[in-house]
Each structure stands twice: as structure tokens, then as C-alpha cells.
């Protein structure tokens, strides 16, 4: 259950308007969601989703660059290979999965 100050949408079992987030598959092409705006910050960026009104912190410049570059690659895996080191890859893949669950990125 979300707290009173949460921006997380809580749905009841019979809520027909609730949508499940798409599972993150790094072998698929992804992009910044069309309803999301990024605002650069010293720590990385703020991502605001105009549809669900979520505010998400991207706490790494590498993550911001990765998200912005997703659309120019054939898959998230290709983007991860280009923008991260092998040691960083698993961490950034988990971050992308979290962004997919938050609807900051979506599959093309």
C-alpha cells in the first residue's frame, strides 16, 4: 500500500483502467516514453511523466546519456554496450528495468 504522500497509483483488483508495466527485455528496442520530459540536474536528471505524474530521479549522468541514446540503438543491449563498461552493465540494466516499470522508458 502506498503512503498518503505517494505518487504511486494504487489500483483495486477490479480496476479496468490499471495497466501493468511491460517487462524489461534488453534485447528489444526501447526509448524515452513520449510523455516523459527530462530536466538536467547536477546529479543527473529529473524525469517527469505527464501521463501518470510520476517524478523519477536519474542519479547518474551515464544513466541520463543511456536513456537519451536508447532510441538510436536497435536494442537496449546495444545501448548498454556502447554507453557502459562491462563492470557497469548489470547495474545499468537493472536501472533501465526500473525505469521501464516506472514508465519512464517504453518499448518501441
- Separation between Cα atoms, residue 40 and residue 47, nearest integer Å: 9
Asked whether residue 48 is domain-assigned, the answer is yes
pLDDT for 11 equals 36
φ, ψ (nearest 5 deg) of residue 91: -65, -45
Asked whether residue 4 is domain-assigned, the answer is no
Residue 51 belongs to domain spanning: 30-107
pLDDT for 22 equals 60
Tell me the pTM.
Answer: 0.79
- What is the number of structural domains in the chain? 1
pLDDT for 6 equals 39
Asked whether residue 7 is domain-assigned, the answer is no
Asked whether residue 36 is domain-assigned, the answer is yes
Asked whether residue 14 is domain-assigned, the answer is no
pLDDT for 99 equals 97
Asked whether residue 10 is domain-assigned, the answer is no
Asked whether residue 46 is domain-assigned, the answer is yes
pLDDT digits (tens, 9 = 90+) for 15-69: 444 444 468 999 999 999 999 999 999 999 999 999 999 999 999 999 999 999 9
2: pLDDT confidence band, cut at 50, 70 and 90? Answer: very low
φ, ψ (nearest 5 deg) of residue 9: -85, 125
Neighbouring residues of 39: CB distance < 8 A, sequence distance ≥ 6: 45, 46, 48
pLDDT for 15 equals 43
Asked whether residue 72 is domain-assigned, the answer is yes
Residue range 63-91: mean pLDDT, rounded: 98
* DSSP secondary structure code for residue 71 in this structure: G
Amino acid at each position: 500500500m502506498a503512503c498518503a504522500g505517494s505518487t504511486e497509483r494504487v489500483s483495486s483488483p477490479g480496476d479496468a483502467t490499471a495497466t501493468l508495466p511491460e517487462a524489461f527485455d534488453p534485447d528489444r528496442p526501447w526509448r524515452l516514453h513520449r510523455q516523459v520530459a527530462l530536466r538536467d540536474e547536477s546529479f543527473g536528471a529529473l524525469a517527469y511523466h505527464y501521463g501518470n505524474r510520476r517524478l523519477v530521479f536519474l542519479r547518474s549522468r551515464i544513466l541520463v546519456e543511456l536513456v537519451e541514446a536508447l532510441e538510436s540503438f536497435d536494442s537496449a543491449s546495444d545501448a548498454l554496450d556502447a554507453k557502459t563498461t562491462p563492470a557497469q552493465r548489470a547495474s545499468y540494466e537493472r536501472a533501465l528495468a526500473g525505469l521501464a516499470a516506472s514508465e519512464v522508458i517504453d518499448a518501441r
